[in-house]
């Protein structure tokens, strides 16, 4: 089975984003990691390869430093990596999808399955997998929490609100977006970390793949910190008095009840 | 004056309350004509409610010669056809599990830009505000295309009544099924619990809740509050007190209710990333120095097992 | 008679030859095994003079054993009594082969004096054993197990000393050139008591010979039996004690993770033990003192340090064949199907070092446990699942909780605490640590300590976001790779500033920077704040105002106490800051202080088996009837607070820094 796993090199979710200018941020102050949702995809791919044989190849579109994310995916068991180099952290999801498609096709092997995370924790677009599938003419299901690949078909489950789930089928090859619950991404063994440092990474510029990064249909106008609250108004008194006052405030002042 | 579409979501035969905020966003104080789209549903039961929030046209969408249900690709294609049919310059919906999926399919199909999980939208300027970096920043995105597609975070935009006369029409485009994805089964949850992302009020219990059973203290209060859902912090989920589907926070659900009551939460960055766009945040904690008090609107120092039953009682009495 | 003597000579020659050959072969096997294992020992055969002193104090002086008074006394009696009969027994053996051999001929007075002492000491062995038997049958502590092995040995030893006395008693009544009645005070009494004087010379000779054969037979049996039994300790304990670590402070083993030739890391198979480990295994006599102290064993966890040593020894002896053949491929992993050493066993350890501290023969149990963890993590990625997030957080944000590391100095807001980058000439670099920087409880302690330092006029600075976790958690959780990454990061930063003195708030930071950073080329003077502040107090820079805190007790941090021998400074501070109040000790304190349950990375693991360690400790604190229990470690403070919350006792937990802050405000 030939599996491509699309991953993104993103700032750690704990990193503080220091905004620079109108639309930039200080990325040198952030630790970058593999997008957490993509780790479920890597784990799923590695498990499938372990069971059914084949190869898991990890693909990313990002800056040179994204090799670090490819290495961590390879430490988890991916065989090799492909990096499509771009300069900007913010890339329109349509361009990213085109770059991914071109990179997978240029790899020369027929993809049986393309996996990725349900979305990235930096730009939170939740759409690249749909665009990739659309461009390649493949079925797509996102936010899957269960995956079964058998007889040329993928059976998946996705959550659709308060504990309800939908079971879907799609013929292979298809594009699937993984989310928490699908599996527990493994912690790599030390020898695998060392081996991953020697696994091949194919690096190419986005322009070499014939993709024009300037054709985006979205533009980032402004990036701003979500305003923090300045501190709570403390409601004093015995529990009984506190709750009566709280109900009054919520009803009369805030009007949320 | 522009024509703006809104995808209306029906759950269990009823309109989701979160639809109205989306209608309000589309209506923009009467600037636009709002088309409310119902996928494979009859408009009658919902007509009055939709009209009360400014939906002038209610469109019953079906597919000529095909069954829309259980086929997200087909649904997306039918909606895409509606954009053309009604010369829409914007299509809005909910960033629910269903909405996020349909809007992304539609965007890929039409090769149009999409903003998923928007919290504010300006249809005139074609800009959308959305969260970036897991809730730490807001990004304002300019859409450079003829049609704006946006799935809006439930409850992010406050619903305002704008009564109009509504007309019901039917639209049945002939769309071909690409036959890629089939829904083979829906496993509906047995409980009538409200989905966290849709709930207008959320009460969350952190690790001090101590056991799965103790959540009933919060559930009782949720019942007294009206439509409300109960959530859990990551620590409580990790301790096995609650399922992951109840988790609020960066690795759980992102919510934006009008009232968020956090019981026994310390106030980690990761938790706040998932709820800080809530309108009013109330925290209850025994530790007066808990960081959550620095980041919420109202604070009560006290034991949740004393405060919450008292709150339930006070709500029932008043 | 002549024929009998010839017969006896031949018999004895054969018996001695056989027994000693068997003994020699068994010991040679054990010695070869000790040399065949592949692990590298860090041991340096240095400081011989001190080691000779150790031999006198620990071996001959029996000081270690006697840290438990009565059992220690019993052991001393057995030790000396048993030792005392040996020269005599040797003479008897030689005499059996060469009837005319008589040491007394060469040195009558000296030999007589020796016999006199031996005759008194030998029966005291029985007193010792009587007490040992009493403990095993009446007192019955859980940690003392009574097996076939132990019973046989007691029986053997008793027979040896009883027959010794009887041989001597018969000797007294036999006609010889010497007056044995004078050199055998106890045996002469025995002879009189049994009225042996009434026997004919032939009868007496027969009696003598009878006990002689039992005596020698038992000794030879003993000789053959020892090397295969737990009483191998008779042979191995002395060298093990002689070669013991002379320093209390110790560093975890630095694994060369950059060694590309290495096929495995940590301890996965018994063939990877080093010779010192093996000597440790041989030296254990399963006295169970480690188990008695172990916080895990005391709270129904599956870990007993005694069993760990026993199980490793059994595994080693069982797999001796492939190890001796150099066929390590064939050696089975330690944690295989059915092995008594399980994940629950090795992950229950809090690395509190109570076992190592109490061990009378200086076994280093932690080396076995922590190196096995290392193997599990590095080679198998097998560890309690909750640690994965801790590892990831340490990797990404250099702290175990995953807070953004750039907010590390946020706790100082409004306090005017300088960063070292702004104030590189500071006298003291305060390495705050993760708990002190991010944990809510820890931050309060840090703020108190900062106020105290400012009050005392200390010129200090902190690293702020340049600081990374010290590596203790990762290292003790077996993640040597991650630990070395963090240590290297800190070593580089410290190298930039070359601080004159490093002050730490947390004993874990203190221990690793002091004892383990030198492995990475970073040696700086390091002080835990308790020692540092006590000095300031002595200099009159921290004067208490007379605040009465009521009744206080101090909970020893393992990493201050047993790892670094700091017991006095914290106590002195607590008592002098609370001079109008009172100070009491908990039952388990000082070197026998009971762990809070957080060490060895346990802070970041779930504790689901048995009673919670912090609850056990909190109950003890509550029972001490104090208002406040004082800690000197942010992790102890958190664990005790959590434990006390459960016991619902009205006991507060305060850090010493908070006590000083309030006392000097």
Dist. CA A135–CA A96, nearest whole Å = 11
Q: Which residues of B touch C404 (CB under 8 A)?
A: 269
C444 with B287: Cβ contact below 8 A? no
Contact at CB, C381 and A16, closer than 8 angstroms: no
pLDDT in tens, C634-646: 999 999 998 998 7
- What is d(CA C651, CA C628) in angstroms, rounded to the nearest whole number? 5
Does position A215 have pLDDT exceeding 90, yes or no?
Answer: no
3-state secondary structure of A158: strand
Chain C residues whose beta carbon lies within 8 Å of the beta carbon of residue A188: 381
**CA–CA distance from C64 to each of A111, C240, C297, C307, C362 (Å)?**
69, 13, 22, 21, 9
Asked if the model's pLDDT at residue C472 lies above 80, the reply is yes
pLDDT of residue C467: 97
Interface check for C396 against chain A (CB to CB < 8 A): the answer is yes
Q: What is the pLDDT of residue B48?
A: 94
pLDDT, tens only, B193-233:
778 888 889 999 998 998 999 999 999 999 999 889 999 99
Check if B266 contacts C (Cβ < 8 Å): yes
**pLDDT value of position C553:** 97
C-alpha to C-alpha distance for A59 and A57, rounded to whole angstroms:
7
Q: In terms of CA atoms, which chain A residue is nearest residue C466?
A: A29
- For residue A92, give Cα distances in angstroms to C127, C297, C451: 88, 59, 51
Average pLDDT of C112-122?
94
Dist. CA B135–CA B158, nearest whole Å: 19
Q: Hey, which residues 217-246 in chain B have their CB within 8 Å of chain C?
A: 238
- Best to test chain C binding among B134, B269, B283, B293 (most C CBs inside 10 Å): B269
Q: What is the pLDDT of residue C507?
A: 97
Name the residue facing C444 among B266, B269, B289 (closest C-beta): B289
Token pair 């890391």 in the structure block, residue: C265
pLDDT over 70 at B116, yes or no: yes
What is the CB neighbour count within 10 angstroms for residue C151?
A: 12
- Distance of alpha carbon A141 from its chain centroid, rounded? 14
As given in the structure block, the two tokens for residue A89 are 């952290």
- CA–CA dist A228, A53 (Å, integer): 50
The closest of B222, B306, B281, B312 to A244, measured between CA atoms, is: B312
Please give the Cα distance from C159 to C169 (Å, whole number).
15
- Is B290 in Cβ contact with C440 (below 8 Å)? yes
Q: How confident is the model at residue B263 (pLDDT cuts 50, 70, 90)?
A: very high
- The predicted structure's pLDDT at residue C237: 93
**Cβ–Cβ below 8 Å for B136 and A16:** yes
* Cβ of residue B119 closer than 8 Å to a chain A Cβ: no
CB C257 within 8 A of CB C263: no
Instruction: Tell me how far apart the alpha carbons of residues A257 and B222 are, in angstroms, rounded to a whole number.
Output: 12
Tell me whether C396 touches chain B (CB under 8 Å).
Answer: no
Chain A residues within an 8 Å CB radius of C474: none
Say which range, B79-93, B302-316, C150-164, has the weakest mean pLDDT: C150-164
**Residue B245: band (very low, low, confident or very high) from pLDDT cuts 50, 70, 90:** confident
Q: Which residues contact B17 (CB under 8 A, 6 or more apart)?
A: B198, B200, B227
* Surface of B (140-169) touching A: CB under 8 A: 140-145
Q: Are C281 and C316 in contact (CB under 8 A)?
A: yes
Distance, CA of B172 to CA of B260 (rounded, Å): 42
CB contact under 8 A, C386 and B238: yes
Instruction: Pick from C440, C444, C446, C606 the residue to mutate for testing the B interface (most B CBs within 10 Å).
Output: C440
C404–A15 C-beta distance less than 8 A: yes
pLDDT of residue B240: 84
Instruction: Match 């002896």 to its residue by tokens.
Output: C317
Angle formed by the axes of helices C201-225 and C2-36, to 10°? 20
Amino acid B29: pLDDT: 87
Instruction: Please state, in angstroms and rounded to a whole number, the distance separating the CA atoms of residues C153 and C314.
Output: 19
Please give the share of chain C, as a percent, with pLDDT higher than 90: 84
Residues 353-392 of C with CB under 8 A from B: 386
Please check the confidence at residue B267 and state whether its pLDDT lies above 90: no
C404 vs B270: CB contact, 8 Å cut-off?
Answer: no
The residue of chain B with its CA nearest to that of A127 is B104
Distance from CA of A198 to the nearest CA of B (A): 32
Q: What distance in Å separates the CA atoms of residue C112 and residue C91, rounded to the nearest whole number?
A: 13
Identify residues of A whose CB sits under 8 angstroms from chain C CBs: 12, 14-16, 29, 31, 33, 184, 186-191, 193-194
Residue B119, pLDDT > 70, answer yes
Q: C-alpha distances in angstroms, B192 versus B11, B12, B228? A: 11, 10, 11
This prediction has a pTM of 0.91
Kindly identify which residue of chain B lies nearest to residue C444, measuring between CA atoms: B289
Distance from CA of B268 to the nearest CA of C (A): 8
Contact yes or no for A169/A155 (Cβ under 8 A): yes
pLDDT of residue B277: 85
Contacts of B238 in chain C (CB under 8 A): 386
Residue C327: C-alpha distances to residues B98, C35, C38, C273 (Å): 61, 14, 11, 15
CA B128 – CA B142 distance, rounded (Å)? 7
Among all residues of chain C, which has the CA nearest to that of B287? Answer: C440
| Cα-trace Rg, chain C | 30
Output the pLDDT for position C584: 96
Q: Does the structure show a pLDDT above 90 at A164? A: no
C404 vs B238, B269, B291: nearest CB = B269
Determine the pLDDT at residue A256.
86
- Residue C536 pLDDT more than 70? yes
Cβ-nearest to A19 among B109, B137, B184: B137
3-state secondary structure B219-250: HHHHHHHCCCEEEECHHHHHCCCCCHHHEECC
Question: Cβ of C384 under 8 Å from any chain A Cβ?
Answer: no
Assign B74 a pLDDT band (cuts: 50, 70, 90): very high
Hey, is the C-beta of B12 within 8 angstroms of any chain A C-beta?
no
Helices within C284-385 (DSSP H only): 289-293, 305-318, 320-324, 343-347, 354-358, 365-380
For residue A213, is pLDDT > 90?
A: no
* Cα B5 from Cα B7, distance rounded (Å): 7
Task: Say whether residue C403 is in contact with chain B using an 8 A CB cutoff.
Answer: yes
- CB neighbour list of residue C381: distance below 8 Å, 6 or more residues apart: A186, A187, A188, A189
Strand partners, A9: A34
Mean pLDDT of B126-130: 95
- The answer to whether B310 contacts A240, with C-beta atoms less than 8 Å apart, is yes
Question: Which chain B residue has the Cα nearest residue C608?
Answer: B239
Q: CA B218, CA B246: separation in Å to the nearest integer?
A: 13
State mean pLDDT over A55-76. Answer: 97
Mean pLDDT of the A33-45 span: 97
Residues of A with CB below 8 A from B18's CB? Answer: none
CA distance A28 to C580: 55
Neighbours of chain A (3+ CB pairs under 8 A): B, C
Neighbouring-strand partners of residue B127: B122, B142
Q: Is the pLDDT of residue C660 over 70?
A: yes
Q: Distance, in angstroms, between C574 CA and closest chain A CA? A: 35
What distance in Å separates the CA atoms of residue B38 and residue C355, rounded to the nearest whole number?
A: 72
Contact (Cβ atoms closer than 8 angstroms) between residue B102 and residue B78: no
- Least confident range from B42-46, C105-109, C389-393: namely C105-109
Of all residues in chain A, the one with the smallest CA distance to B257 is A256
End-to-end CA distance of chain A: 55
Q: Which of C260, C379, C407 is closest, CB to CB, to A16?
A: C407
pLDDT, average across residues C240-246: 94
Q: Which helix (H) or strand (E) holds C281?
A: helix C275-283
Q: Do B183 and A166 touch (CB under 8 A)?
A: yes
Confidence of residue B192 (pLDDT cuts 50, 70, 90): low
Contact partners, residue C191, CB within 8 Å, separation at least 6? C169, C170, C172, C173, C181, C197
Q: List all chains that touch chain C, counting a touch as 3 or more CB pairs closer than 8 Å.
A: A, B
Of C386, C402, C440, the CB nearest to B266: C440
Question: Could you give the CA distance from residue B55 to residue B36 in angstroms, rounded to a whole number?
Answer: 6
Q: Cβ of B197 under 8 Å from any chain A Cβ?
A: yes
Q: How confident is the model over C501-527, as pLDDT tens digits? A: 999 999 999 999 999 999 999 999 999
What residues of chain C lie within 8 A of the CB of A16, using their CB? 404, 406-407
From the list C265, C379, C396, the residue facing A14 with the nearest CB is C396
User: Contact, A93 vs A131, CB < 8 A?
Assistant: yes
Q: How far is CA C643 from CA C386, C435, C596, C623, in A?
A: 21, 18, 9, 13
Average pLDDT rounded to a whole number, residues C346-359: 97
Q: What is the mean pLDDT of chain C?
A: 94
Q: Is the pLDDT of residue C57 over 90?
A: yes
Interface test with A, best of C374, C375, C397 (most A CBs within 10 A): C397
Report the b/e string of B194-233 with b at 16+ CB within 10 A.
bbbbbbbbbbbbbbbbeeeebbebbbbbbebbeebbbbbb
Q: Would the pLDDT of A88 be above 80?
A: no
């Amino acid at each position: 089975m030939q599996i491509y796993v699309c991953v993104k090199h993103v700032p750690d979710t704990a990193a503080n984003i220091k905004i620079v200018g109108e639309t930039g941020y200080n990325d040198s102050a952030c630790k970058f990691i593999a997008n957490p949702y993509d780790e479920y995809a890597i784990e799923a791919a590695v498990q499938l390869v372990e069971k059914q044989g084949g190869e898991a190849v990890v693909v990313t579109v990002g800056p040179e430093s994204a090799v670090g994310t490819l290495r961590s995916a390879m430490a988890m068991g991916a065989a090799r990596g492909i990096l499509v180099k771009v300069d900007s952290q913010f890339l329109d999801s349509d361009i990213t999808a085109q770059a991914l498609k071109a990179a997978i096709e240029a790899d020369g092997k027929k993809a049986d399955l393309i996996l990725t995370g349900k979305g990235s924790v930096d730009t939170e677009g939740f759409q690249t997998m749909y665009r990739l599938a659309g461009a390649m003419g493949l079925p797509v299901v996102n936010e899957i929490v269960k995956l079964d690949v058998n007889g040329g078909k993928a059976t998946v489950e996705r959550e659709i609100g308060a504990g309800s789930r939908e079971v879907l089928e799609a013929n292979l090859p298809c594009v699937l977006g993984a989310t928490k619950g699908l599996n527990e991404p493994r912690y790599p063994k030390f020898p695998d970390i060392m081996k991953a440092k020697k696994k091949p990474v194919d690096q190419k510029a986005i322009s070499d793949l014939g993709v024009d990064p300037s054709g985006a249909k979205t533009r980032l106008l402004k990036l701003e910190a979500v305003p923090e609250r300045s501190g709570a108004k403390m409601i004093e008194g015995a529990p009984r008095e506190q709750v009566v006052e709280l109900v009054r405030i919520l009803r009369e002042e805030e009007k949320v009840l | 004056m522009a024509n703006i579409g809104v995808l209306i979501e029906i759950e269990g035969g009823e309109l989701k309350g979160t639809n109205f905020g989306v209608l309000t966003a589309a209506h923009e104080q009467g600037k636009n004509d709002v088309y409310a789209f119902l996928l494979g549903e009859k408009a009658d039961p919902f007509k009055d409610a939709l009209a009360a929030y400014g939906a002038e046209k209610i469109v019953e969408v079906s597919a000529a010669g095909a069954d829309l249900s259980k086929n997200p690709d087909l649904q997306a294609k039918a909606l895409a056809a509606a954009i053309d049919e009604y010369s829409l310059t914007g299509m809005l919906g909910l960033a629910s599990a269903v909405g996020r999926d349909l809007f992304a399919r539609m965007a890929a199909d039409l090769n149009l830009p999409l903003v998923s999980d928007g919290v504010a939208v300006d249809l005139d300027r074609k800009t959308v505000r959305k969260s970036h970096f897991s809730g730490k920043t807001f990004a304002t995105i300019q859409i450079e295309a003829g049609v704006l597609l946006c799935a809006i975070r439930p409850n992010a935009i406050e619903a305002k009544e704008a009564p109009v006369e509504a007309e019901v029409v039917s639209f049945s485009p002939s769309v071909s099924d690409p036959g890629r994805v089939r829904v083979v089964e829906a496993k509906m949850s047995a409980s009538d619990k409200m989905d966290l992302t849709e709930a207008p009020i959320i009460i969350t219990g952190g690790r001090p809740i101590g056991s799965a059973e103790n959540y009933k203290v919060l559930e009782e209060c949720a019942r007294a509050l009206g439509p409300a859902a109960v959530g859990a912090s990551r620590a409580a989920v990790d301790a096995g007190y609650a399922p992951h589907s109840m988790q609020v926070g960066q690795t759980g659900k992102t919510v934006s209710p009008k009232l968020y009551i956090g019981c026994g939460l310390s106030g980690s960055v990761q938790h706040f990333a998932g709820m800080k766009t809530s309108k009013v945040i109330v925290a209850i904690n025994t530790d007066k120095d808990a960081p959550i008090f620095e980041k919420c609107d109202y604070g009560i120092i006290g034991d949740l097992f004393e405060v919450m039953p008292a709150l339930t009682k006070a709500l029932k009495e008043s | 008679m002549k024929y009998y003597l010839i017969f006896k000579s031949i018999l004895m020659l054969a018996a001695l030859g056989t027994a000693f050959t068997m003994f020699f072969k068994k010991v040679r096997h054990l010695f070869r095994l000790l040399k065949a294992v592949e692990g590298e020992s860090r041991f340096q055969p240095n400081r011989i003079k001190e080691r000779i002193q150790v031999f006198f104090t620990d071996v001959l002086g029996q000081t270690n054993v006697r840290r438990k008074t009565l059992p220690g006394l019993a052991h001393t009696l057995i030790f000396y009594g048993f030792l005392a009969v040996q020269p005599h027994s040797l003479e008897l053996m030689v005499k059996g082969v060469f009837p005319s051999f008589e040491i007394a001929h060469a040195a009558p007075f000296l030999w007589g004096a020796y016999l006199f002492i031996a005759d008194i000491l030998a029966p005291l062995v029985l007193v010792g054993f009587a007490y040992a038997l009493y403990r095993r049958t009446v007192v019955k502590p859980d940690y003392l197990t009574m097996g076939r092995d132990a019973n046989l040995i007691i029986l053997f030893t008793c027979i040896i000393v009883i027959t010794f006395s009887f041989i001597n008693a018969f000797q007294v009544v036999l006609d010889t050139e010497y007056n044995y009645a004078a050199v055998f005070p106890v045996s002469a009494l025995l002879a009189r008591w049994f009225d042996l004087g009434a026997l004919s010379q032939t009868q007496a000779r027969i009696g003598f010979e009878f006990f002689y054969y039992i005596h020698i037979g038992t000794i030879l049996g003993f000789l053959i039996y020892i090397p295969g039994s737990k009483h191998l300790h008779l042979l191995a304990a002395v060298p093990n004690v002689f070669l013991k670590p002379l320093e209390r402070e110790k560093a975890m083993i630095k694994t060369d993770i950059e060694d590309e030739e290495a096929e495995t890391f940590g301890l996965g198979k018994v063939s990877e033990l080093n010779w010192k480990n093996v000597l440790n295994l041989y030296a254990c006599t399963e006295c169970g003192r480690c188990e008695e102290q172990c916080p895990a064993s005391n709270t129904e966890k599956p870990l007993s340090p005694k069993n760990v040593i026993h199980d490793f020894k059994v595994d080693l002896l069982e797999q001796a064949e492939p190890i001796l053949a150099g066929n390590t491929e064939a050696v089975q992993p330690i944690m295989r199907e059915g092995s008594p050493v399980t994940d629950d066993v090795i992950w229950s350890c809090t690395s509190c070092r109570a076992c190592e501290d109490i061990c009378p023969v200086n076994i280093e149990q932690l080396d076995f446990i922590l190196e096995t963890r290392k193997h599990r993590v590095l080679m198998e990625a097998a560890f309690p699942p909750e640690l994965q997030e801790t590892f990831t957080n340490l990797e990404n944000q250099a702290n175990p909780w995953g807070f953004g590391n750039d907010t590390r100095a946020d706790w100082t807001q409004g306090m005017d605490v300088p960063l070292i980058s702004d104030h590189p000439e500071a006298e003291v670099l305060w390495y705050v640590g993760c708990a002190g920087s991010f944990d809510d409880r820890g931050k309060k302690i840090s703020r108190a300590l900062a106020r105290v330092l400012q009050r005392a006029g200390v010129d200090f600075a902190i690293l702020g976001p340049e600081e990374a976790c010290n590596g203790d958690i990762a290292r003790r959780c077996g993640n040597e790779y991650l630990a070395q990454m963090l240590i290297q990061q800190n070593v580089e930063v410290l190298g930039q500033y070359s601080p004159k003195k490093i002050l730490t708030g947390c004993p874990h930071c203190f221990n690793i920077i002091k004892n383990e950073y030198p492995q990475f080329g970073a040696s700086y003077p390091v002080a835990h704040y308790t020692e540092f502040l006590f000095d300031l107090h002595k200099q009159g820079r921290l004067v208490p105002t007379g605040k009465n805190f009521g009744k206080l007790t101090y909970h020893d941090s393992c990493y201050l106490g047993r790892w670094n021998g700091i017991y006095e400074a914290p106590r002195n501070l607590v008592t002098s800051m609370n001079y109008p109040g009172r100070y009491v000790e908990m039952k388990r304190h000082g070197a026998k202080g009971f762990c809070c349950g957080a060490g060895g990375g346990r802070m970041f693991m779930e504790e689901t088996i048995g009673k919670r360690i912090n609850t056990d400790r909190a109950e003890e604190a509550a029972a001490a009837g104090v208002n406040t229990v004082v800690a000197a470690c942010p992790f102890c403070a958190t664990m005790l607070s959590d434990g006390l919350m459960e016991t619902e006792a009205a006991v507060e937990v305060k850090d010493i820094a908070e006590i000083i802050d309030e006392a000097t405000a």
